[in-house]
Structure 1
Amino acid sequence: MANVCEICGKGERSGFNVSHSNLKTKRTWKPNIQRVKAVVNGEIKRINTCTRCLRSGKVQRAI
């Protein structure tokens, strides 16, 4: 599954773990992507969307 939201475009971010001694190692943060049935342009489709878009009502879930 792609780690990108089809609604807002939120995707994987990269950065560093920083230890107490200030050593840095690369790491990534992944969004909470859910595959849901949603109403898109009047028809039911499966889309990948982040939980922020689901919670805020940007996605109308199909029943």
Structure 2
Amino acid sequence: MARNCSVCGKGIVVGIKLSHSHIRTKRTWSPNLQRVKAIVDGTPKRVLVCTRCLRSGKVQRAI
């Protein structure tokens, strides 16, 4: 299941965690996704949106 922002498409990023002893292990960074009711194509729907899109006003909230 893909967990991406429905506005900007931001998703999970994969990288490497580096310990003090230089042991490298894989890790992931997840976006801060919120499930909100937004206007999509003129109708209110529940969508996953990242907080940056919510803060910048790219999403029109449905009340």
- Normalising by structure 2, report the TM-score: 0.89
* Matched ranges for 1:30-45 at <5 A: 30-45=30-45
Q: Does 1:20 align with 2:20?
A: yes
Structure 1 unpaired stretches of 5+: none
Report the RMSD for the aligned CA atoms in angstroms. Answer: 1.3
**How many residues in Structure 1 have an aligned counterpart in Structure 2?**
63
Q: Does 1:4 align with 2:4?
A: yes
Runs (4+) off by over 3 Å: none
The whole-number CA distance in structure 1 between the counterparts of 2:54 and 2:2 is: 17
Deviation of the 1:41 alpha carbon: 2.1
Deviation of the 1:11 alpha carbon: 0.4
The whole-number CA distance in structure 1 between the counterparts of 2:26 and 2:43 is: 42
Please list the CA deviations of residues 24-61 of structure 1 after superposition, one character each: whole Å capped at 9, or x if unmatched: 11100000111110011221111111111111100011
Structure 2 unpaired stretches of 5+: none
Aligned to 1:47: 47
Letter of the structure 2 residue corresponding to residue 16 of structure 1: I
- Normalising by structure 1, report the TM-score: 0.89
